[in-house]
Structure 1
Amino acid sequence: MNITIKDIASIAGVSYSTVSKALNDSSLVKENTKRKIVKIAKDLGYEPNFAAQRLVSKNTKVIGLIWPTIERTVLATLVTKISNEMAKTPYSMILSVDPIQKSLDTFKKFQVDGVILFGENTLTEINPNSIPLISYGVSGKKNYHYPIIDANHMKAMDDAINYLYELGHRNIKYVGNISPTDPLQMEKYQGFTKAMEKYNISYTNEDILDTGGLDWYHGYHAVDKMLKSNHLPTAIVGGSYDISGGIIRSLKENNVHIPDEISVISYDNIPQMAHLEIPLTCIGVSVEELAEKIVHSAITLIETKKLDSEVTKMIPSLVERASCATVRNN
């Protein structure tokens, strides 16, 4: 038997309207009444009828999330944090790893109130009136028709190079995926080169190690190849958590001591970095902060149809651990 709001209202001894407000966590319902109604609904196994809800309130309290992959550790962690943050709100989330247009078509069928888009595959053309949409990605120079949460990769790389510079490093290599089709990875690479020039640190093409991918083994093989040359750095900047895990494993297998011989700092800021073979110094906006900003910006956009800024530049944080040290004078 399908349990309805009428059933809950009858048992609770309140109006249908009060039940509806309570289940939507309205401040207009007293807390003790709200708790009573929520408990009755849970005990009865009540499931909201989203189609009916849409007809009455013109919204479903559902947000769609388009994600390119959940295979990489950082992305999987961020998805989890976004889901946890969403659970603190009246909204629910559905996730799609399908291509963007297919995901949007699916979300339209579910009549979601808004969409969060991951910026590895941003859309330059979309009807801003079709559905509220917000992107986590790189603002760059393109004119998008939707708000963007920008993790500020340029600033992160500047902070990383400044940190190494203050430790005395002048021989620094970048190990990352240099992909012209991935704006996030390109901004990290460009941020590295711009920072090296800013701090007057000389570098050549040999100091840019293109991993050709974002997985653990890409970082491992890039550094393994580097160690066979005669151009060893005093410090390495890793382009991502997964890549840096491979960097650390390659250095350890080749008996290169971290950080006494080579320091390592990595982009990305997730809790797992503290639990690698060498606790990893990192730079980037924390996944907790990103998740909170993404979720609440999406809800603000849905409910007000506007945000304070079309581009929100986040502020990266540097977390010091055991993978970097001052350059020793020989």
Structure 2
Amino acid sequence: MGITIKDIAKIAGVSYSTVSKALNDSPLVKKDTKKKIVKIADELGYEPNFAAQRLVSKQTKIIGLIWPTIERVVLSTLVTKINNKINKTPYSMILSVESTETALDTFRKFQVDGIILFEENSKPSIRQTTIPLISYGVAKERDVEYPIIDANHEQAMYQAVKHLYELGHRDIAYIGDLSSTDPMQAEKYNGFMKAMEQYMLSIEDINMIDTGGLDWYNGYAATKKRFENPTYPTAIVGGSYDISSGIIRGIKEIGLDIPRDVSIISYDNIPQMANTEIPLTCIGVPVERLAEEIVQSIIHCIEEKNITSNVKKMSPILVERASCEKRK
């Protein structure tokens, strides 16, 4: 038979409830007592009986995360940040990269306490669920019954063009995924176009380059193709960190200098952008802040049993680095 909290309580000379509170890091237990109980539990090799805890609390203390892929750097970074923040709470996280419908069925079987959904490509079909659910997605023109964390992609790209305009650039290109089925990419495109029109900048077809994807190679291949034309833009807005990394490599292979010949500003805001071949000027919600908001929101929904369709629009932040300079 395994070690129980009764065994720990007997050795520690405290009540069962004190042991339970200490092992759940309750502030109601004195630090010295808590430290003593945790030490005894570790020495005895105590492992909590999650099944029994679930019967009592009606909770699994597990949050399910539905994610499209962990291959792209930004997404893997955000997943890691979310997991790290969940680990600082009484909850644990399980990750699914299956289709939304399959993942939801799996999480229902696991009886998770809450679900975080990443919406990429078309709007997912979600059957009514009693499990608290929040989405990282786009809130525009949506009819949903769950909260949405919106990173404000449109505003970010508007600010990107504004920044380049203020640096004196007038010939600006966009290299990104122009997919009409991915609402996030559509918002980026809309933001770029609004800013170009606002500042009365010419929108040339040759400067609207569709990468057809969001990976490094998509950005690299699109850049090489665009610069087959000897007339090139003075600045580029990249649709993502991965795409912009490919843009940098493509431009350097052509023999042009960044930022003297071409300035680059990229969507996304992750620490890795300071360590690319040319440190990237970027615009987006910082990944740390985004992860914090997502985790706080799902735990609030779980513990307050508050599943409403509120929208949290976050504010993008511009970080200036070496990939942009004033146009002489």
Q: Shorter-chain TM-score category? A: over 0.9
Distance in 2, matches of 1:44 and 1:136, equals 42
- Alpha-carbon offset, residue 308 of structure 1: 8.8
The residue number in structure 2 matching 1:117 is 117
Taking a change above 3 Å as real, the CA distance of residues 99 and 308 of structure 1, as seen in their structure-2 partners, is closer
- Alpha-carbon offset, residue 81 of structure 1: 0.6
- Alpha-carbon offset, residue 140 of structure 1: 1.6
The residue number in structure 2 matching 1:135 is 135
1:155-193 CA deviation, whole Å, 9 max, x = no partner? 101111110010011110000011122111111111111
The residue number in structure 2 matching 1:172 is 172
List gaps (5 residues or longer) in structure 2: none
- Alpha-carbon offset, residue 75 of structure 1: 0.5
Q: Does 1:201 align with 2:204?
A: no
The residue number in structure 1 matching 2:278 is 278
1:85-104 aligned at under 5 Å gives the runs 85-104=85-104
Taking a change above 3 Å as real, the CA distance of residues 102 and 7 of structure 1, as seen in their structure-2 partners, is farther
Q: Does 1:251 align with 2:282?
A: no
Alignment: residue pair count: 327
Q: Which amino acid aligns with 1:170?
A: R
Taking a change above 3 Å as real, the CA distance of residues 56 and 224 of structure 1, as seen in their structure-2 partners, is same
Q: Which amino acid aligns with 2:139?
A: S
1:1-330 aligned at under 5 Å gives the runs 1-120=1-120, 122-128=123-129, 130-306=130-306, 310-328=310-328
Distance in 1, matches of 2:43 and 2:110, equals 27
Which one is further off, 97-106 or 158-167? 97-106
RMSD (Å) for aligned C-alpha atoms: 1.5
- 2:146, 2:309 within 8 Å by CA — same for their partners in 1? no
Q: Which amino acid aligns with 1:126?
A: R
- 1:264, 1:323 within 8 Å by CA — same for their partners in 2? yes
Q: Which amino acid aligns with 2:164?
A: L
- Alpha-carbon offset, residue 22 of structure 1: 1.7
- Alpha-carbon offset, residue 47 of structure 1: 2.1
1:132-162 CA deviation, whole Å, 9 max, x = no partner? 0011111121111110110000110111111
Give the SS at the match of 2:134: strand
Distance in 1, matches of 2:200 and 2:291, equals 35
TM-score by length of 1: 0.95
- 1:268, 1:285 within 8 Å by CA — same for their partners in 2? yes
- Alpha-carbon offset, residue 307 of structure 1: 7.2
- Alpha-carbon offset, residue 321 of structure 1: 0.5
- 1:300, 1:307 within 8 Å by CA — same for their partners in 2? no
Taking a change above 3 Å as real, the CA distance of residues 279 and 327 of structure 1, as seen in their structure-2 partners, is same
Distance in 1, matches of 2:239 and 2:182, equals 13
- Alpha-carbon offset, residue 41 of structure 1: 2.1
Q: Which amino acid aligns with 1:217?
A: Y
Which one is further off, 266-275 or 226-235? 226-235
- 2:64, 2:96 within 8 Å by CA — same for their partners in 1? yes
- 2:144, 2:309 within 8 Å by CA — same for their partners in 1? no
TM-score by length of 2: 0.96
- Alpha-carbon offset, residue 201 of structure 1: 1.3
Give the SS at the match of 1:120: coil
Taking a change above 3 Å as real, the CA distance of residues 215 and 120 of structure 1, as seen in their structure-2 partners, is same
- Alpha-carbon offset, residue 88 of structure 1: 1.3
Distance in 2, matches of 1:261 and 1:148, equals 40
- Alpha-carbon offset, residue 204 of structure 1: 2.5
- 1:237, 1:266 within 8 Å by CA — same for their partners in 2? yes
Taking a change above 3 Å as real, the CA distance of residues 308 and 159 of structure 1, as seen in their structure-2 partners, is farther
- 2:113, 2:302 within 8 Å by CA — same for their partners in 1? yes
- Alpha-carbon offset, residue 306 of structure 1: 2.3
Taking a change above 3 Å as real, the CA distance of residues 97 and 172 of structure 1, as seen in their structure-2 partners, is same
Q: Which amino acid aligns with 1:91?
A: Y
1:33-77 CA deviation, whole Å, 9 max, x = no partner? 222222222232322222211110111211111111100000000
Which one is further off, 282-291 or 47-56? 47-56
Give the SS at the match of 1:25: coil
Q: Which amino acid aligns with 2:292?
A: E
